[in-house]
C-alpha cells in the first residue's frame, strides 16, 4: 500500500493532471461553495446554467432550436425560471438526436459511454473531462464529511470484466497506486466472499464502497458465518447503484461495525447526492439542478414525491438539460444540519435490481449481465429472465442498427458470465411489457435463494 499522504498530495493530483481532469481544482471550489447560503448556491447555479446554455447554443443544433422556440437568449443571464420554459427531455430524445447534441471538440475531448439504464434500454452518450472532475471531486468532498481523505485506503465492491485486457491491467495498477482495492461484485460465490473478507481485513480500509445489494449480500455472508471484522480505521461504508433499504443498512452496519452512507447518482447525469453523518442526503448543487415534477410536468409541493428531472451543469460535451431520469424522489425544504447551502433530498425511492444465480452457486449482481446486453449495438430495449439456474430468457427490442450477429454476441457474452452449459431462449420482440407496478425490471430471477441470502435483498 502507498502511504496515504504520498497518494493524496502527489500521485493522485499528478494522475488527474495527466488525464487532463481539473479534479483537485474543482474539489477546492466545492469546499468553499458548499458554505454559500441557499440563495448563493442558486445564483451560482444560474451562472453555470448560463454558461452551459451558451455552449449548447454554440455547439448543439438540437438545443439551439429548443432555446429559440422557448425564447431563451443564452447571451443574457439565464435564471432558474427561464430554465423551466424549456421542455423536458428523456432518453428517447438522446437516442434519436444524440448526434445533434454532442460537442466533439470540447476542451479535453469527448468520450463515448453507454449505459443500460434502469429501463433496460441502452443509452449511448458522451462526457468530457469537466464532468469527470465534477463526479470525482463530489465524491471526495462527500468522503471528507465522513473523515476520509483522497488517497486513504478504500475497498470497492464493483463490477469487473470477465477477461482483463491491457487497459484493465493498467487500471488495476493505477488503483493500487491510489490505494484503491477493487473486488469483483460480479463474483459473489461463498468461496469468493471468503476471499473478500480476508482481503478487506488485510487491507484495513478507511472506506468501503459498492452496490447496495452486493454490500448487503457480503454482509449477510459475514453474519451467517459469525465473522467479526477488526477494522479500526473504517469510518464509513458507502453504498450506491440502488435504493438502500433500512434492513440492508442495519445488516451492513452490524457486519462491518461502521456507519453506512448512501450515494445517489447515475451514469448519464453523474454523481448527484450523498448522505451526511447527520443522516441527510445533500444534493451536489454546484453541478446539478434538480426539479421534482408530477406526471404533467409541473413542480410538486415540497415534501411530496415526484420524478427527478435534472440539469447537469458540467456536462458540456453532451448537455443533459431538464432530463427525465425516471427516478422518484422527495425534496425537503429544510437546511443542511451542518450549515451548507446545498439542497436536501428527503428520500430517493429509485429502483432496484435482481441478482442472477450461476450454476456453481455464485450470486451475481444484475449488472453483470446488463453489461453484456448494453455492449451489443442494435439492442433497443431488453429484459433478462432467469427461470431456473440453467434457463435464461432474453427479450430484445431491436433498433435500426441491429445485425443478426448481435444474437451470437449476446449468447457468447452471457455464457462467459454464467457458464457454457446455460440454455438461452433468445427472442426479438416488438415491445417489452412493464410490470404490474408500471416499472420496467430489466433483470428478473426466479431462482430461490437460501434464507441468509434473502436477508440481503
Provide CB contacts within 8 A for 24, sequence distance 6+: 12, 13, 16, 137
pTM of the entire structure? 0.81
Task: List Cα–Cα distances, 93 to 52, 175, 284, 396, 441, in angstroms.
Answer: 18, 36, 25, 20, 21
Q: What is the pLDDT of residue 200?
A: 97
121-124 CB contacts, 8 Å cutoff, 24+ apart: 121/91, 121/95, 121/380, 121/381, 121/382, 122/373, 122/374, 122/379, 122/380, 122/382, 123/91, 123/94, 123/95, 123/267, 123/268, 124/94, 124/95, 124/98
Low-confidence ranges of the chain (pLDDT < 70): 116-122, 160-168, 350-354, 434-440, 449-457
Q: What is the pLDDT of residue 328?
A: 87
Backbone angles phi, psi at 162, to 5 degrees: -65, -45
Q: Which residues pair with 390 in a beta bridge?
A: none
1-4 CB contacts, 8 Å cutoff, 24+ apart: 1/153, 1/179, 1/203, 2/151, 2/176, 2/177, 2/178, 2/179, 4/149, 4/151, 4/152, 4/153, 4/179
pLDDT in tens, 243-302: 888 888 999 999 999 999 999 998 899 999 999 999 999 999 999 999 999 988 999 998
Q: What is the pLDDT of residue 118?
A: 45
Residues 392 and 425: beta-carbon distance below 8 Å = yes
- Strands 305-312 and 288-293: what pairing? antiparallel
Q: Which residues pair with 238 in a beta bridge?
A: 209, 261
Q: What is the pLDDT of residue 9?
A: 92
pLDDT in tens, 350-405: 665 667 888 887 888 788 898 899 889 899 888 999 999 999 999 999 988 999 99
Please, what sign has the CA dihedral across residues 333, 338, 340, 342?
negative
| Structural domains of the chain, with CATH | 355-454 (3.30.300.30)
Q: What is the pLDDT of residue 413?
A: 94
Amino acid at each position: 500500500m502507498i502511504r496515504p499522504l504520498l497518494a493524496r498530495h502527489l500521485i493522485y493530483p499528478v494522475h488527474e493532471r495527466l488525464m487532463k481532469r481539473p479534479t483537485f481544482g474543482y474539489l477546492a471550489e466545492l469546499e468553499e461553495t458548499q458554505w454559500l447560503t441557499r440563495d448563493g448556491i442558486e445564483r451560482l447555479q444560474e451562472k453555470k446554467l448560463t454558461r452551459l446554455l451558451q455552449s449548447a447554443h454554440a455547439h448543439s443544433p438540437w438545443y439551439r432550436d429548443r432555446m429559440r422556440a422557448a425564447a431563451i437568449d443564452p447571451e443574457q443571464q439565464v435564471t432558474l425560471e427561464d430554465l423551466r420554459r424549456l421542455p423536458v427531455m428523456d432518453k428517447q430524445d438522446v437516442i434519436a438526436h444524440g448526434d445533434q447534441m454532442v460537442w466533439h471538440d470540447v476542451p479535453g475531448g469527448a468520450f463515448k459511454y453507454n449505459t443500460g439504464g434502469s429501463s433496460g434500454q441502452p443509452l449511448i452518450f458522451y462526457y468530457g473531462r469537466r464532468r469527470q472532475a465534477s463526479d470525482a471531486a463530489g465524491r471526495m468532498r462527500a468522503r471528507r464529511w465522513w473523515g476520509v481523505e483522497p488517497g486513504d485506503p478504500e475497498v470497492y465492491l464493483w463490477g469487473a470484466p470477465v477477461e482483463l485486457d491491457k487497459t484493465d491491467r493498467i487500471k488495476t495498477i493505477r488503483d493500487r497506486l491510489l490505494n484503491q482495492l477493487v473486488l469483483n461484485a460480479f463474483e459473489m460465490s461463498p468461496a469468493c466472499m471468503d476471499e473478500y473478507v480476508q482481503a478487506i481485513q488485510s487491507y484495513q480500509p478507511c472506506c468501503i464502497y459498492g452496490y447496495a445489494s452486493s454490500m448487503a449480500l457480503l454482509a449477510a455472508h459475514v453474519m451467517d458465518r459469525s465473522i467479526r471484522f477488526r477494522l479500526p480505521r473504517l469510518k464509513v461504508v458507502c453504498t450506491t447503484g440502488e435504493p438502500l433499504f433500512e434492513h440492508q443498512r442495519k445488516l451492513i452496519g452490524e457486519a462491518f461495525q461502521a456507519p453506512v452512507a448512501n450515494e445517489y447518482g447515475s451514469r448519464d447525469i453523474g454523481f448527484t447526492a450523498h448522505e451526511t453523518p447527520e443522516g441527510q442526503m445533500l444534493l451536489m448543487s454546484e453541478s446539478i439542478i434538480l426539479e421534482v415534477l408530477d406526471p404533467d410536468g409541473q413542480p410538486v409541493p415540497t415534501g411530496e414525491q415526484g420524478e427527478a428531472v435534472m440539469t447537469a451543469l458540467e456536462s458540456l460535451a453532451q448537455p443533459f438539460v431538464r432530463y427525465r431520469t425516471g427516478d422518484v424522489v422527495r425534496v425537503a425544504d429544510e437546511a443542511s444540519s451542518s450549515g451548507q447551502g446545498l439542497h436536501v433530498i428527503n428520500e430517493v425511492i429509485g429502483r432496484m435490481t435482481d441478482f442472477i444465480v450461476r450454476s456453481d452457486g455464485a450470486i451475481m449482481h444484475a449488472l453483470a449481465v446488463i453489461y453484456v446486453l448494453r455492449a451489443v449495438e442494435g439492442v433497443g430495449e431488453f429484459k433478462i429472465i432467469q427461470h431456473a439456474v440453467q434457463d435464461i430468457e432474453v427479450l430484445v427490442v431491436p433498433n435500426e442498427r441491429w445485425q443478426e450477429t448481435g444474437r451470437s454476441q449476446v449468447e457468447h457474452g452471457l455464457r462467459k458470465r454464467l457458464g457454457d452449459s446455460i440454455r438461452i431462449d433468445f427472442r426479438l420482440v416488438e415491445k417489452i411489457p412493464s410490470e404490474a407496478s408500471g416499472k420496467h425490471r430489466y433483470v428478473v430471477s426466479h431462482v430461490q435463494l437460501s434464507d441468509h441470502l434473502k436477508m440481503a435483498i
